[in-house]
Structure 1
Amino acid sequence: MNGKCCAGFFITFEGIDGSGKSTQARQLAETLGARLTREPGGSPGAEQIRRLLVEGEAGRWSAETEILLFTAARRDHLEKTILPALEAGGVIVSDRFADSTRIYQGVARATLRDTVDRLHALMIAQEPDLTFVIDTDPKVALERGLGRGSGEDRFESFGVDFQERLRAGFLALAEEYPDRVRVIDGNRAPTAIAAEVAALARDALARRDHG
């Protein structure tokens, strides 16, 4: 596997917890008639691992253990959901992918980016064609995330300083991968964000079709 495996088109959404990326991922998938998936999760086995990662106390796992769990979930997701969709020539939209592990465990929780990258190269070796980072004020996002009361707030429980580190990490990621990452101002009405995202996605798909 490599960065571009097949005829389909792979779009991901990233951002801090409560940034609104899940809403935007759903909206774009609906607009494009694309397959919608998520991480951690997106396949039966990965959904089981998801509960281990997003529920419970903040100190439940070390960053090193989280990397292994996320990689295991992502591998199953890749095999069962992402690659079949791409090989069929479809468009697939995922709420989070490998960039989240690069930032959460590689930067914000610990300095383990090299470990994350080596595991990714060995077990995943797939990159999105286009990534949207929904950039939202960390305090607003944290309040929104905790306010959901979903029970999946383990990472929100690390607090606003953690959210600030995450935001800085995602912005740095956009500089690292300028060809595929687009930073979107998330401090606006969801309809305005969705319109910008849809326009950028359609442009990327048109360039793919005519390239």
Structure 2
Amino acid sequence: MPGIFISFEGPDGAGKTTALNKLMPLLQERTNKEIVLSREPGGSPISEKIRKIILDIHDQEMDDRTEALLYAAARRQHLIDVILPTLNEGKVMLSDRFVDSSIAYQGGGRQIGTKEVGEINDFAIDGHLPDLTIYFDVTPEVGLARIKKDHEGAMDRLEKEAIDFHNRVYDSYMDIVKANPDRIKAINAQQAPDQVVQDALTVIVNRFPNIFNKGE
């Protein structure tokens, strides 16, 4: 039986990575299926090497289209190395970011064009979209304030972008959420962290009741 694929999206500072680490054991308690947690860019040896190039603060001269292509390349390798094998083994695949990030960040944030970036990634993912995407909704102002508070001096190349860039990313995410109501479910990420985790858990259990029903 094929597994299920859930991606987690949100602007910088949405807290999704922290929420995911708390969410995973709660999900594991509710299913007999193995759960695999990964991230993008990265998640496999080659993809992690590409990640270092993309996010290196010293690579400020990187062309915007080069950046978009590198993300797509990392995504393709991650898909081949991690996502598809996990799904083929009937496991649950959780990915911290997937294709929607590129459309929002490079298509919208970099103003390359959401259609154009979407087409690059259509080639990379070959039709393999998540079964469910949870979007952690937080305004750019709140997200960036969290980043500065939590890891001042360790911000990556994208986090260091001006507020206008982050506003464009946020607006693009909103368009993506509205255009994909069946696949993408938004939750309020400006709530207390435990409530954010609980809301995400509720969305997942309600979408896949036959998988996450252990102990119910």
Q: Is the CA contact (8 Å cut-off) linking 2:19 and 2:197 kept in structure 1?
A: yes
Matching of residue 166 in structure 1 with residue 169 in structure 2: yes
Tell me the equivalent position of 2:23: 28
Aligned length, in residue pairs: 205
Other structure's SS at 1:156 match: coil
Other structure's SS at 1:157 match: coil
Matching of residue 19 in structure 1 with residue 20 in structure 2: no
47-56 vs 143-152, which moves further: 143-152
Unaligned runs of 5+ in 2: 29-34
Tell me the equivalent position of 2:190: 187
Q: Is the CA contact (8 Å cut-off) linking 1:15 and 1:133 kept in structure 2?
A: yes
Matching of residue 136 in structure 1 with residue 138 in structure 2: yes
Whole-Å Cα distance in 1 between the matches of residues 193 and 93 of structure 2? 21
Unaligned runs of 5+ in 1: 1-5
Tell me the equivalent position of 2:2: 7
1:90-109 paired onto structure 2 within 5 Å: 90-109=91-110
**What's the offset of the Cα at 1:150?**
6.8
Q: Is the CA contact (8 Å cut-off) linking 1:58 and 1:157 kept in structure 2?
A: no
Q: Is the CA contact (8 Å cut-off) linking 1:46 and 1:74 kept in structure 2?
A: yes
RMSD: 2.0
Tell me the equivalent position of 1:111: 112
Distance 1:199 1:119, change over 3 A: same
Tell me the equivalent position of 2:89: 88
Which structure dedicates a bigger proportion of its chain to helix?
A: 1
Q: Normalising to structure 1: TM-score of the pair?
A: 0.90
Q: Is the CA contact (8 Å cut-off) linking 1:24 and 1:194 kept in structure 2?
A: yes
Whole-Å Cα distance in 1 between the matches of residues 179 and 168 of structure 2? 16
Corresponding letter in the other structure for 1:92: M
**What's the offset of the Cα at 1:112?**
2.3
147-156 vs 118-127, which moves further: 147-156
Identity of aligned residues (%): 36
Q: Is the CA contact (8 Å cut-off) linking 1:25 and 1:94 kept in structure 2?
A: no
**What's the offset of the Cα at 1:64?**
0.4
**What's the offset of the Cα at 1:57?**
4.4
**What's the offset of the Cα at 1:208?**
7.3
Whole-Å Cα distance in 1 between the matches of residues 89 and 122 of structure 2? 23
Q: Is the CA contact (8 Å cut-off) linking 1:53 and 1:66 kept in structure 2?
A: yes
Q: Is the CA contact (8 Å cut-off) linking 2:53 and 2:59 kept in structure 1?
A: no
